[in-house]
Structure 1
Amino acid sequence: MTTASETTEDGRPPPSFQGRLKLDSFRFNADATVTGPRRSPRISRTPSLTAVPSTPSPVSTSRSPAKRRALTVADGASDEGDVSSPSSSSTSKKSTTLRTKRARQSSSYAPPSTYAHLPLLPDAIAPNLLVLFIGLNPGIQTARTGHAYAHPTNLFWRLLHSSGVTPRLVSPTEDRQMPAMYSLGLTNIVARPSRNGAELSKAEMDEGAAILEGKVRRWRPEAVCVVGKSIWESLWRVRHGRAIKASEFHYGWQDEGENMGISKDGGVLREDERVEGVDYSADWKGARIFVATSTSGLAATLKPKEKEDIWRGLGAWVERRRAERAQTALLTADG
């Protein structure tokens, strides 16, 4: 209880801090025994003798599958040359092998049943052709319209005109009239349609190579134009039993030893295999081969100018042969 001497004039108790704060009692004293809350070890003068190992934070499962796969691959790559336990190394190798096998199994190949609802594209072939063009296979747009190289992005008809193979720009709807108009024929190494060349198998293309040899042997065009590198690679693989080397490939006219349509066994066509109007003289040396670039809009390896230069090599030959034929026809008519 407060006495009278301990109170002020207005009856209130005197201030306990005696007019000022005693800050000394609030200062930090490292030597004092800690009885209150634990302080941070960073400000402690006596380091702890037992260090607590840090626990690695787990990989977040909120990452996308692609990121998790990337992390897995990165982890597997970092194991090379690392000092890890045999079990972890074995596990990493097994998972890497499994990923490789899965990657190899994935393919864009589409079986024939995928586009079985689409009609096949008939050949445009006739006797006395200057050039028989060999394409890869009909695309979806071509199969639906029934006309060769019908997709708007395909450069085939434009390259024919700009190179001089045709005197004017021809429409895809005129593909059936090409033999009669300009002595040019159309066929493919694979008959069935697909969205792109990746959906075809090498076996299909190799089988088509043998069929092409038979067509050229029967119709005997003066030359054949292979429209695309992959087609020539397949023809070469079947002819030579191996893949073509980079040093062996070139666009343009191929060596006459590669001429198509010559029977290896020297045999002749049967009477029922022959076509009226075709000259089957025994001195025929086969059709010369010209390898041109692909005209697909997806083929962007070469620049448009480079494609035009390659196709011009065929166009110049066609222009010369067309003029020679016209001159021969004129002389025959006069004689």
Structure 2
Amino acid sequence: MAETKVLPIKAEDASLEDSLEASREAIDVPSPSFKGRLNLSDFAFSAPQTQSLRRSPRSLTPRVEPSDSSTSLATTPKLEALSSPSPSSAPLLKRRTDSSSSSSPSKKPRTPAGYAPPSKYAHLNELVDILEPNLLCVFIGLNPGVRTATEGHAYSHPSNRFWKLLYSSGLTTRLMKPSEDRSLPKLYRLGNTNIVARPTRNGAELSKDEMDDSVAVLEEKMRACKPEAVCIVGKSIWESIWRVRHGRAIKKEEFRYGWQDESEAMGKPVEAEDGEWKGAKVFVTTTTSGLATNPTQAEKERIWRELGVWVDKRRVEKAAEAPEVVGGGAPEGALLN
């Protein structure tokens, strides 16, 4: 192991170290302290003398004493509706609404059938009028349907309620079949015709001009058979007759179901002497189509029943005038079949 040599201290180094030690003792170095720079007592916790209670914001609102309506309305602050969405949320709500509506299946709009020329149904025969002189009532329909024209009997479509309404209203004493339509004058002194003779699939295939042009023919038919009354089976038929007579469309407040004014009699002659036929009374009733939902079925029954009561009353009066004949030449017992 190597021996460590200690070098002797030189005289100038010793004197320098002694002078440094003497200078340290001569300088009075204070101990570290924050006094004079930071007062710790300022940060000491001190409890408050009195503790104030926190009041509710509602209690801070000044109370408004009740007074008259003008004062209360002027002093009561307006409150904004909390339910109204903010402008930033409006686009989001709109997008959600649009997405929900677009997700639902859209129904394809039903396209109504347009006008059909007579050539379209030229292969079908027109319906034969059921008319005789001095009937109690003649029914005036729109025009024959395809099923009616094919079978050759009035109101032949199974969904049509014409024959059911005749029975429920008392116009007939039993539910008749369409094939029995020719026996209406003999059994019940009733008749049937249409404002337009040619058949179509539905009324939309007729034009207004075509209906209006047929009014004059209808008036002439009534003058020929002279019934006591006519029953207009459907609002659109009466609207057409009104347009021709008054030169304008009927107003909503002018239309009504039931008996019309005496001035609206069908087929009335220009001049009629006392005791002569002065035209047929007009009764407007609802359509009998099974597709029509307005008016309701109960309302239809009520309207048709009003006509049935009148016809039944006239039958009784006619029977009293000529007991041996009740129908158009038929025995009295025929009405009870």
Return the TM-score normalized by structure 2: 0.62
- Structure 1 unaligned blocks of 5 or more: 1-66, 68-105, 269-279
1:1-335 alignment runs, 5 A limit: 108-264=114-270, 266=271, 283-330=276-323
Secondary structure at 1:134's aligned position in 2? strand
- Residue in structure 1 matched with residue 99 of structure 2 by the alignment: none
Distance 1:241 1:294 in 2: 24
| Shift, 1:263, TM fit | 2.7
Tell me, in whole angstroms, the C-alpha distance in 1 between the residues paired with 2:204 and 2:325: 49
> Using the alignment, how far apart are the partners of 1:331 and 1:110 within structure 2?
49
Residue 90 of structure 1 corresponds to none
Cα distance in 2 for residues equivalent to 1:330 and 1:284? 23
Distance 1:152 1:140 in 2: 12
Aligned-partner Cα distance in 2 for 1:209–1:241: 13
Query: Hey, what's the Cα distance between the residues in 2 that align with 1:296 and 1:209?
Result: 22
Helix, strand or coil at the partner of 1:330: coil
Counterpart contact for 2:147–2:156, Cα < 8 Å: yes
> CA shift at 1:300, angstroms?
1.4
What SS is found at the alignment partner of 1:125?
coil
Contact kept? 2:269, 2:279, Cα under 8 Å: no
> Quick one: distance in 1 between partners of 2:172 and 2:274?
28
Identity %: 62
Change (3 A) 1:107 1:164: closer
Distance in 1 (CA, whole Å) between partners of 2:192 and 2:324 is 30
> Which has more radius of gyration?
2
* Residues 331 and 113 of structure 1, relative CA distance in 2, 3 Å threshold: closer
* Post-superposition CA distance 1:119-172 (Å, at most 9, x none): 111101011200010000000100010000000000000000100111111110
- What is the TM-score of this pair, normalised by structure 1? 0.62
In the alignment, the residues of structure 2 paired with residue 309 and residue 331 of structure 1 have an alpha-carbon distance, to the nearest angstrom, of 32
Corresponding letter in the other structure for 1:219: C
Alpha carbons of 1:332 and 1:209: their partners in 2 closer, same or farther (altered >3 Å)? closer
Q: How far has the Cα of 1:203 moved from its partner?
A: 1.0
